[in-house]
Amino acid sequence: VKPTVVLKSSSDNMDGSDSTTSLPASVSSSEQAYSDISSAARRGHDVGGFDPLKDKIPTKRETANVGNPQTAVKTENMNIEKVLAELQAIQAQGPKKYCILGTRHCSLLHQQIVELLAYALVLSGNHVYTSGAQGTNAAAIRGALRAIKPHLLTVVLPQSMSKQTPESQELLQDVTNVVTMPQNDGMPLDMASRICNSHLLNQTDHLISIAFHE
């Protein structure tokens, strides 16, 4: 008498009898075993929906292309045409709220560029936010004031007006929307400035930052 191997379904048949399939133990080839499992799957046995004759298991792992982290990314040189194209793209989005912040150590040429930028933004209907320090921020205030749209310029000071320099106080006399933070008068200026900058970023859509480097 030859021993048999029994395949049993995980669930009984509708008539209550067990569904079994008997195979001779002498059948040992992998092809015959695959054929029997595939046949069981077609008869409704629970084999996870996998057909070994049709579903091929990949034997090689695809290598992810993550690039070389040691290779510096080459950037294109900026020119006036590209800058104008980016400004045109900004204008195509409609009026926005722009925060202009930057270094106090700003050359006359850079101050003129910032002033022209703020003037163009306000003239085209955008709202400019900045603070009261000299350099970049003062240039942004002057440029925005030139557009003669005072409702589109807001200056937020890190402390009270009396804490500002005489030059800043004189410039701010022409600004309609000035927000002061007298609750920060007892803090060091750098800490009060961080609070002020966080408030500015929460109020605006875009940030234009001017950094200083030698």
d(CA 39, CA 91): 66
> What pLDDT was estimated at residue 150?
94
Confidence category of residue 138, pLDDT binned at 50, 70, 90:
very high
| pLDDT of 44 over the 60 cut | no
User: Using an 8 Å Cβ cutoff, are 77 and 42 in contact?
Assistant: no
What pTM was computed for the model? 0.59
| CB-CB contact of 193 with 85 (8 Å) | no
Pick from 6-10, 77-81, 113-117, 178-182: least confident: 6-10
Element counts in the chain: helices (H) and strands (E): 6, 7
pLDDT at 39 over 80: no
Question: Phi and psi dihedrals of 99, rounded to 5?
Answer: -105, 120
Q: Which amino acid is at 167?
A: E
The pLDDT assigned to 22 comes to 47
Band the pLDDT of 118: cuts 50, 70, 90: very high
d(CA 188, CA 38): 77
Residue 25 has pLDDT above 60, yes or no: no
Percentage of the chain with pLDDT > 70?
58
**Mean per-residue pLDDT for 18-39?**
49
pLDDT for 211: 81
What pLDDT, on the 0 to 100 scale, is given for residue 126? 93
- Decide the pairing of beta strands 206-210 and 97-102: parallel
Strand duo 20-24 + 4-8: pairing: antiparallel
**Which residue type does 105 have?**
H
pLDDT tens profile 89-105 = 766 777 889 999 999 88
